[in-house]
Amino acid sequence: MGNASGRQKQKPLILGPAPGSGMGVYAVTFDTLEDRELATLEESRSPDAFYLPWKSGDVTEGGIDLTTDTVTYFFTANLSGCSLWYKFQDGRIFIRHEARTDSASQNLHKLAGFKCVVDSSLNPDDVQLSVDPETMVRKARYYVVYAIFDHEARQVEFRAQLVAQQTNLLNRQESYELVKVTAVAVKFPKA
C-alpha cells in the first residue's frame, strides 16, 4: 500500500471521504489498489477494515476483536494536533483518537492503560497551513495514520505518515507528498 516500484517516489496512502462522524469504529471495506494516493472506504457487513472518525475537542474510541482474521486494516481521521492511543483488553484492541492533545488528556489515557502511537502536537513544525496569496496554493502538513493487522505473526503495525498536501484553491487540484513514515509494530498479548 502506497509503495512505488522502481525509481518512482513512494506515495502516501490518503483516504477519500470516509463514513461516519460518530464515536465508535465503522466496519468498512478498503479499496486496496497499489500506489494509489486516494483510497476509498465503504461501510460493509463483511469488512476487511475499521475506520475511527474524530470529534472536535473530544476523544473517539473503538474496539476491534482480535480473534477474527478477516480484518486487515485500521484507519483513522487525519491527525493535525491530535494523538492516537491503543491498549489490549479481553481479546480486543481499543484505539483512541484524541482531538484535544494536552497533558491532562494524555494522563487520563495513560491511567486507563493506553499507550501513545503518535502525538502530532509534539512537533509544531509538522503541522502547518499557509496560503500563497499570489498563486492561491494552500500548503498543509499533517499525519495520516493507518494500521495493518498481521494475524499470522500476531501483531499490528501502526504506520504514521507525515504528508505534505498542496491544494490549488482556484481549480481545486490537490497533490500529496510523503514526507516521512514512522512504523510501530505491536505484538498481540499472549492468549
- Cβ count near 128 (within 10 Å): 12
User: What is the rounded CA–CA span in Å between residue 61 and residue 56?
Assistant: 13
Residue 106 lies in a domain: yes
Residue 3 lies in a domain: no
User: What is the rounded CA–CA span in Å between residue 1 and residue 93?
Assistant: 22
Rounded average pLDDT over 64-83: 86
Residue 22 lies in a domain: yes
Kindly indicate the confidence band of residue 2, based on its pLDDT and cuts at 50, 70 and 90.
very low
Residue 1 lies in a domain: no
Residue 156 domain boundaries: 14-187
How many Å from the N-terminal Cα to the C-terminal Cα in the chain?
30
Residue 95 lies in a domain: yes
Residue 44 lies in a domain: yes
When divided into structural domains, the chain yields a total of: 1
Residue 4 lies in a domain: no
Residue type, 186: V
User: What is the rounded CA–CA span in Å between residue 102 and residue 154?
Assistant: 32
| Cell numbers linked to 182 | 514512522
Burial classification of residue 25, based on how many CB atoms lie within 10 Å of its CB (0-12 exposed, 13-18 middle, 19 or more buried): buried
Express each pLDDT in 22-49 by its tens digit: 545 555 565 654 545 566 677 777 777 8
Residue 8 lies in a domain: no
Between 75 and 154, name the one with better pLDDT. 154
Taking the CA of residue 182 as centre, how many other CA atoms within 13 Å lie in the half-sphere pointing to its CB? 8
Express each pLDDT in 147-185 by its tens digit: 999 999 999 999 998 988 899 999 988 888 888 899 999
